[in-house]
Amino acid sequence: MKRALLFVALTIGSVSAAALAQSSPAKPYKVVFDLTSADQVDQRAVLRWIKEVTGVNSRTETEVVMYGRGLDLVVSGKSTMAPEVAEAISASHATFSVCAIAMKNQQVDKSQLLPNVQIVPDGIGEIVAKQRTGWGYIKVGH
């Protein structure tokens, strides 16, 4: 009889633990997105991904690092998604960082960037530094 009660108690405990694990939110993580394309499909994709991953867990950290033609996403007059970038920064606490080298090569001044966009000395260096501290890496492309 004691064995039967022990078995029932363990079974209920296991089922409860499994149900609790399924209902708890996913663990947050950190991911850096590498955007080098002016392609609007890629730009829309990274904005959608930010919304999706932070929708699963609002504590997930995201950063979009832009160099090459990726700067177009955050340059006033070139960006067709400025409202979406602003929403990602405010609602999802996403960070958008542009490469100073790419800015120089493309003759983009910091005054041309959308509000709250950060400048990093080297876009590739920023990505490598993030990876060294445990951030995941996603190359944006299709």
Domain spans, the chain = 26-139
Give 122: exposed, middle or buried? Use CB within 10 Å, 0-12, 13-18, 19+: middle
Question: In degrees rounded to 5, what are phi and psi of residue 75?
Answer: -100, 125
Q: How far apart are CA 138 and CA 77, in angstroms?
A: 27
Report d(CA 58, CA 141) in Å as an integer.
24
Residue 60 is predicted with a pLDDT of 95
CATH 3.40.50.300 given to domain 26-139: no
Q: What is the pTM of this model?
A: 0.82
Q: Show the tokens assigned to 135.
A: 């951030």
**77-116 residue pLDDT tens:** 999 999 999 999 999 999 999 999 999 999 999 999 999 9
Averaged pLDDT for residues 124-142: 97
Task: For residue 84, give both structure tokens.
Answer: 């979406």
CA angle 12, 15, 21 (to 5 degrees): 140
